[in-house]
Chain A
Amino acid sequence: MSGSNTLTVNGKAFSLPDHVTPDTPLLDILRNTLGLTGTRFGCGLEQCGACMVLVDGQPVQACNAALDSVAGKAVTTIEGLAGPDGKLHPLQQAFLDEQAGQCGYCLSGILMAAKALLDRNPAPSRTEIAAALDANLCRCGSHIRILKAVERAAATLRAEG
């Protein structure tokens, strides 16, 4: 299992301390070792999507993803969604434009799931967006605005070419 104690997050390689073991969940490493608290703990059971990140572009719930399952892969979190210059990703801008959120606790995971969708399907239908977000729960009932925001972001990205 040697070699697991480095991790690439948002394009940056991190050397992890000794107490992080190959079976340590990715979410715990993000929040407690790297201080990247934007990825949320929701259930720890892979049932709610609050902890969703991208691993080599694929949406993965970080709560139960052990370090060795992501070793050598590229992890992207909500903190890596905006550009290096701080410019918001079109998804983030669209969520602000639609005021798509209430408590906001689910948004990090939803934004990452939406990013994975738009990366593979630049022109999703409303049904395809809903299907792509079905692993993500929202309790405030912001779904309607979130669906609109993803459609808006898709249009922006297509226009940007």
Chain B
Amino acid sequence: MNDTVKLPASLTGNPRLDRWVKFEDDRTVRVASGKVEIGQGIVTALAQIAADELDLPLNRVTLLSGSTEHGPDEQYTSSSLSIMVSGASIRLVCAEVRALLTEQAALRLNCSPEDLIVSDGAFVRDGAPTGLDYWDVAPALDLSRAPTGRAKPKAASAYRLVGQDVPRADLPGKVCGAPDTYLHDMRPAGAVHARTLRQPNPGAVLTDLDEASVRRASGDPALRIVRRANFVAFVSQSERAAEAAAVHAESNATWSGLRDLRGPEQEGGWLVGRPAELREIGAPTANTSGATMIEATYTRPYIAHASMGPSAGVALYDGETMTIWSHGQGMHPLRKNIAEVLGLDPAKVVCHHRHGPGCYGHNGADDAALDAGIVALALPGETVRLQWRREEEFAYEPVSPAMSVTVKVALDAAGNPTDWTQEIWSASHVQRPGSGSGYLLASEALENPPGPVKVTDPPEERGGGGTRNAVPLYRMAAHRIRHHLVTQGPVRTSALRGLGAPTNVFAMECMMDELAARAGKDPLAYRLALLDDARARAVLERTAAMSGWAKRGKGGEGKGLGIAFARYKNMAAYSAVAVAVTVDEEVRLDHVWSASDAGLVINPDGARNQLEGGIVQAASFALKEQVRLEGSGIASRDWDAYPILRFSEIPPVDVEVIGSADDPALGMGECTVGPTCAAIGNAVAHALGRRIYDMPLNRERIMAALLA
């Protein structure tokens, strides 16, 4: 048993081989994952892993993703863990199944398993076909057994598909507008359309809604109104009528118990001193008397996921079983949460994943699924297709929390850090339903809203939430985090790409530039001198070379070049980013360069796609984005109020994936986000000769810095 591999959590949680692999009658193999496609290419990458371990071509592998009926429970698709956890599980399962099938075939052929090789699923002996293949011997195997981890997966040198630029399986349908590409396209026969009237804030009570006037405004005399406490939905054969009803109802409903936000709550700085739970992580507070102390505070506001399409859900209740189709990130947690809110047996709730617009974290998808379920429960036998309005998506999805990060550093005589404190104020970064303080939105509007819950954040061993990437990898005697988990925020918050990393890396890497400047050193050389990890140094050195760092000017004349580094979660991929900017009244991105090391990369082109996307999205966060709070909640409810980076603002972006296939695969979907924010901050400081501490680095802030 010495060579038994430690099983990943996904396998110990789903200890049946047949939950993962099924041999189909058409000579294909269905491999299942609990992780879902959210535009990141995971379905393609997992198929590559499975096909390699099973010695099959890709066209014999189909990926079933996100099915509570047939697939494994792997919680949520999050934290850049899908390759590391689901990929590792599928690799072990497929290796074990291949070994079991080969043993079975060897028994029948009266030979040793070592005499057999597999080609396109068929067993070959001494170069000749044996007449047996996987599908012949699979029926004799009982795959309801638990994986043992005893079969040895292939060595990296034996991979045929892993490491290749395999085209995305989902893209052809997406460029052709194929039917049923997205959940939103589902039009089951007889399905009805639904829209909701949202409770403006938790605790608000609907005191008046003139249903007759809503029905008139909808143009559908047969409009049905499903009402439970403070939850209201409008149902019609006509999507347009349901939409018109919701628009009319929103402007005519009367509520009591509305909040009255005034605006200051929307800034990161507002958080400091609010009710919070304090944790101190790391070394005890050092005695730094006599040392030179440097301190600065960096902030970021609330950020929206701002998915291209509003959230939607489809539900059918047949009087016994509730079937849900959703574009959420975890179908098994969704089943449990929906069953709980609707008072159904979880065994009688089935959830199927369908593609949706990219979410980058926890947006309104789960909430829309519950909305559809509530309506379906009231209308048994009817398939309910419920879609949020654009304004609803912006106003009611959970947003990424604002943060304030104060960095305090003690310096030695040479100007190097000896003691580092990163003091963070932030609301929770993960309030996924069923985890910690999370709940499904509509449950607040139903008869018995959930009581107060203990606010939590992901623990450090999972990378932390507000504390993500708050520990410097630079050599120094001591460091610590002071984490104030703000318990009463003005708006619901949850996971967005990188969680706390973009703000912590912005703070840390901007501070590193400030320290380098104090020490009279080049920012790159200053970092390299404090980094012992060769892989960290390599991504920085490569990025610097790509950007022509050696020719970097002294700055201060409107042109800047900045660099930043992080290892995502301090345990996933390494990434450095360099950004060249021109700053006049606003920031123009001239060029971005980035090198990342993710160890073994399953699909290099898919990886580059993620790295590029992370850079562009982070640049948008850093330069443009801020959720506006006013009145009962979020006031920025359309793309004019919430601008994101546009085509005309996109610079050339060069990314490289470096590193060795002999190192284990490291999650990389989020690794460029923090370094991009920080490199922009540093480039702008280089261009202006003064630093801006608060994101977004928009026109208002540039003008304020120029006038200061």
**Does B306 sit within 8 A of A, measured CB to CB?**
yes
Which B residues lie within 8 Å of A142 (CB)? 609, 612-613, 616
Q: Using a CB-CB cutoff of 8 Å, which residues 304-320 of chain B contact chain A?
A: 306-310
Contact assessment for A35 and B187 in the assembled complex, using a CB-CB cutoff below 8 Å: yes
Contact of B390 among A35, A38, A43, A111 (CB under 8 A): A43
Contact assessment for A139 and B306 in the assembled complex, using a CB-CB cutoff below 8 Å: yes
Which A residues lie within 8 Å of B167 (CB)? 96, 99
Q: Using a CB-CB cutoff of 8 Å, which residues 154-198 of chain B contact chain A?
A: 167-168, 170-172, 174-182, 184-185, 187
**Which of B174, B238, B306, B652 lies at the interface centre, i.e. has the most chain A CB atoms within 10 A of its CB?**
B174
**Does B357 sit within 8 A of A, measured CB to CB?**
yes
**Which of B167, B171, B640 lies at the interface centre, i.e. has the most chain A CB atoms within 10 A of its CB?**
B171
Contact assessment for A140 and B653 in the assembled complex, using a CB-CB cutoff below 8 Å: no
Contact assessment for A140 and B176 in the assembled complex, using a CB-CB cutoff below 8 Å: no
Q: How close is B702's CB to chain A, nearest CB, in angstroms?
A: 22
Would you give the 0/1 interface string for A96-109, flagging 1 where the beta carbon is closer than 8 Å to chain B?
10010111111110
Contact of A41 among B177, B184, B612, B638 (CB under 8 A): B184
Q: How close is A134's CB to chain B, nearest CB, in angstroms?
A: 5
**Does A71 sit within 8 A of B, measured CB to CB?**
no
18 contacts between A and B (CB under 8 A): A25-B240, A38-B177, A39-B177, A43-B390, A45-B390, A45-B639, A78-B176, A78-B177, A95-B171, A103-B38, A105-B357, A139-B617, A141-B616, A142-B616, A144-B652, A145-B609, A145-B612, A147-B650
User: In chain A, what residue has the closest Cβ to B360?
Assistant: A139
Q: How close is A55's CB to chain B, nearest CB, in angstroms?
A: 17
Would you give the 0/1 interface string for A7-39, flagging 1 where the beta carbon is closer than 8 Å to chain B?
000000000000100001100100110011111
Which A residues lie within 8 Å of B306 (CB)? 139
User: In chain A, what residue has the closest Cβ to B307?
Assistant: A139
Q: How close is B577's CB to chain A, nearest CB, in angstroms?
A: 13
Which A residues lie within 8 Å of B92 (CB)? none
Would you give the 0/1 interface string for B238-266, flagging 1 where the beta carbon is closer than 8 Å to chain A?
11100100000000000000000000000
Which A residues lie within 8 Å of B170 (CB)? 104
Contact assessment for A95 and B175 in the assembled complex, using a CB-CB cutoff below 8 Å: yes
Which A residues lie within 8 Å of B653 (CB)? 144
Which A residues lie within 8 Å of B70 (CB)? none
Which B residues lie within 8 Å of A35 (CB)? 179, 187
Contact assessment for A103 and B308 in the assembled complex, using a CB-CB cutoff below 8 Å: yes
Tell me, in angstroms, the Cα distance from A47 to B639 when the chains sit together: 6
Q: How close is B652's CB to chain A, nearest CB, in angstroms?
A: 8
Which B residues lie within 8 Å of A25 (CB)? 240
Q: How close is B180's CB to chain A, nearest CB, in angstroms?
A: 8
Contact of B174 among A101, A136, A138 (CB under 8 A): A101
Which B residues lie within 8 Å of A102 (CB)? 39-41, 358, 609-610, 613
Contact of A43 among B168, B177, B638, B644 (CB under 8 A): B638
How many A-B pairs have beta carbons closer than 8 Å: the answer is 171
Contact assessment for B171 and A32 in the assembled complex, using a CB-CB cutoff below 8 Å: no
Contact assessment for B613 and A140 in the assembled complex, using a CB-CB cutoff below 8 Å: yes
Contact assessment for A28 and B650 in the assembled complex, using a CB-CB cutoff below 8 Å: no
Which A residues lie within 8 Å of B176 (CB)? 38, 78-79, 81-82, 88, 92
Tell me, in angstroms, the Cα distance from A144 to B355 when the chains sit together: 23
Tell me, in angstroms, the Cα distance from A38 to B175 when the chains sit together: 9
Tell me, in angstroms, the Cα distance from A99 to B170 when the chains sit together: 11
Contact of A111 among B175, B605, B612, B644 (CB under 8 A): B175
**Does B614 sit within 8 A of A, measured CB to CB?**
yes
> Would A99 and B238 be within 8 Å (CB), given that A37-B187, A78-B177 are in contact?
no
User: In chain B, what residue has the closest Cβ to A43?
Assistant: B390
Q: Using a CB-CB cutoff of 8 Å, which residues 647-685 of chain B contact chain A?
A: 647-648, 650, 652-653
User: In chain B, what residue has the closest Cβ to A106?
Assistant: B308
State which size class the interface on A falls in.
35 or more
Tell me, in angstroms, the Cα distance from A32 to B307 when the chains sit together: 22
> Would A133 and B647 be within 8 Å (CB), given that A19-B238, A139-B308 are in contact?
yes
Contact assessment for B639 and A48 in the assembled complex, using a CB-CB cutoff below 8 Å: yes
Contact assessment for A141 and B613 in the assembled complex, using a CB-CB cutoff below 8 Å: yes
Tell me, in angstroms, the Cα distance from A144 to B477 when the chains sit together: 42
**Does B108 sit within 8 A of A, measured CB to CB?**
no
Q: How close is B609's CB to chain A, nearest CB, in angstroms?
A: 6
Which B residues lie within 8 Å of A32 (CB)? 187, 238-240
**Does B646 sit within 8 A of A, measured CB to CB?**
yes
Which A residues lie within 8 Å of B355 (CB)? 103-104
**Does A44 sit within 8 A of B, measured CB to CB?**
yes
> Would A103 and B356 be within 8 Å (CB), given that A43-B638, A143-B616 are in contact?
yes
Contact assessment for A101 and B175 in the assembled complex, using a CB-CB cutoff below 8 Å: yes
> Would A130 and B609 be within 8 Å (CB), given that A47-B639, A48-B639, A139-B307 are in contact?
no
Contact assessment for A96 and B175 in the assembled complex, using a CB-CB cutoff below 8 Å: yes
Tell me, in angstroms, the Cα distance from A47 to B430 when the chains sit together: 30
> Would A37 and B177 be within 8 Å (CB), given that A50-B309, A141-B615 are in contact?
yes
> Would A99 and B175 be within 8 Å (CB), given that A104-B39, A141-B617, A143-B616 are in contact?
no
Contact assessment for B639 and A144 in the assembled complex, using a CB-CB cutoff below 8 Å: no
User: In chain B, what residue has the closest Cβ to A113?
Assistant: B647
Contact of A79 among B177, B309, B616, B648 (CB under 8 A): B177
**Does B60 sit within 8 A of A, measured CB to CB?**
no
**Does A77 sit within 8 A of B, measured CB to CB?**
yes
Which B residues lie within 8 Å of A43 (CB)? 390, 638-639
Tell me, in angstroms, the Cα distance from A146 to B613 when the chains sit together: 12
Q: How close is A149's CB to chain B, nearest CB, in angstroms?
A: 9
Which A residues lie within 8 Å of B617 (CB)? 139-141
**Does B389 sit within 8 A of A, measured CB to CB?**
yes
Contact assessment for A144 and B309 in the assembled complex, using a CB-CB cutoff below 8 Å: no
The 7 tightest CB contacts between A and B, nearest first, are: A38-B177, A141-B616, A103-B39, A104-B174, A103-B358, A78-B177, A141-B613
Would you give the 0/1 interface string for A105-149, flagging 1 where the beta carbon is closer than 8 Å to chain B?
111100100000000000000010111011011111111111100
Known: A35-B187, A130-B648. 20 other contacts (CB 8 A): A19-B238, A25-B240, A37-B179, A43-B638, A48-B308, A78-B177, A99-B171, A103-B308, A103-B355, A104-B170, A106-B308, A107-B174, A111-B175, A134-B646, A138-B308, A139-B357, A141-B612, A141-B614, A142-B612, A143-B650
> Would A36 and B650 be within 8 Å (CB), given that A43-B639, A45-B390, A145-B609 are in contact?
no
Which A residues lie within 8 Å of B358 (CB)? 102-103, 105, 139-140
Tell me, in angstroms, the Cα distance from A147 to B652 when the chains sit together: 10
Would you give the 0/1 interface string for B390-422, flagging 1 where the beta carbon is closer than 8 Å to chain A?
100000000000000000000000000000000
Tell me, in angstroms, the Cα distance from A142 to B608 when the chains sit together: 11
Tell me, in angstroms, the Cα distance from A31 to B648 when the chains sit together: 30
Tell me, in angstroms, the Cα distance from A148 to B613 when the chains sit together: 14
Q: Using a CB-CB cutoff of 8 Å, which residues 213-248 of chain B contact chain A?
A: 238-240, 243
Tell me, in angstroms, the Cα distance from A84 to B639 when the chains sit together: 36
Q: How close is A144's CB to chain B, nearest CB, in angstroms?
A: 5
Q: How close is A61's CB to chain B, nearest CB, in angstroms?
A: 12
Contact of B175 among A45, A50, A107 (CB under 8 A): A107
Which A residues lie within 8 Å of B180 (CB)? 37
